């Protein structure tokens, strides 16, 4: 088993051990910590996700963003990779690949200005481990190739932090990580 696989298994086990009630409280606390990132964004597009398994829930953060005039989107897994579709609270959801739910094909595709993504593990250098499929890395590469540079925000529980994530050339560091305890940014020396 690779070092990334071992770290992923360990941090997902810690994440799974968090009770549903604690996860709900943590989601609210994380949304509060994210507020400084959600200033002066009226008309911008934030792509969140609907949580699966024991993922940190971005819906409170998304609600705050929507109340501040931010348009929302959700990712949909397609054979070509992740596609981001506009979504409003209350819109119907359909299976969107990888066990997730997302907007129907009738919802317009959008380009996110802010990308909130789940994490399996993270470190203080803003490196992340996902589920090992590379969906977000490829989506970010595609957005950048088209001239877009979305703000990258990882959402996780503090229990998912590790000392050091093995970083490979294709890995893309985040701009911020939000947990129930804090907003993490790269510290300048």
Annotated binding site: 4-8, 55, 128-136
Helices 20-34, 59-67: inter-axial angle, 10-degree rounding: 30
Alpha carbons 62 and 55: distance in angstroms, whole number: 15
Alpha carbons 141 and 22: distance in angstroms, whole number: 34
Alpha carbons 152 and 137: distance in angstroms, whole number: 11
Annotated binding residues for substrate, as ranges?
A: 55
Q: Are 188 and 146 in contact (CB under 8 A)?
A: no
- CA 150 from chain centre, in angstroms, equals 12
- For residue 175, CA distances in Å to 38, 106, 127, 143, 172 come to 14, 31, 9, 15, 10
Alpha carbons 172 and 27: distance in angstroms, whole number: 24
Alpha carbons 29 and 44: distance in angstroms, whole number: 23
Annotated binding residues for ATP, as ranges?
A: 4-8, 128-136
- DSSP H stretches of helix in 46-186: 59-67, 135-145
């Amino acid at each position: 088993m690779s070092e990334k696989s071992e770290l992923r298994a360990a941090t997902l086990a810690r994440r799974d051990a968090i009770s549903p009630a604690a996860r709900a409280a943590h989601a609210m606390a994380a949304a509060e910590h994210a507020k400084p990132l959600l200033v002066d964004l009226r008309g911008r597009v934030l792509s969140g996700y609907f949580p699966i398994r024991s993922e940190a829930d971005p819906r409170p953060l998304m609600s705050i963003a929507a109340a501040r005039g931010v348009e929302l989107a959700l990712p949909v897994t397609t054979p070509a990779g992740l596609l981001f579709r506009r979504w409003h609270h209350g819109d119907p959801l359909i299976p969107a690949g990888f066990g997730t739910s997302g907007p129907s094909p009738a919802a317009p595709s959008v380009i996110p200005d802010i990308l909130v993504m789940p994490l399996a593990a993270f470190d203080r250098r803003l490196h992340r481990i996902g589920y090992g499929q590379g969906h977000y890395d490829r989506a970010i590469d595609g957005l950048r190739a088209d001239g877009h540079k979305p703000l990258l925000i990882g959402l996780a529980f503090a229990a998912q932090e590790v000392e050091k994530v093995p970083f490979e050339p294709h890995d893309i560091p985040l701009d911020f990580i939000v947990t129930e305890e804090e907003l993490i940014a790269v510290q300048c020396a």
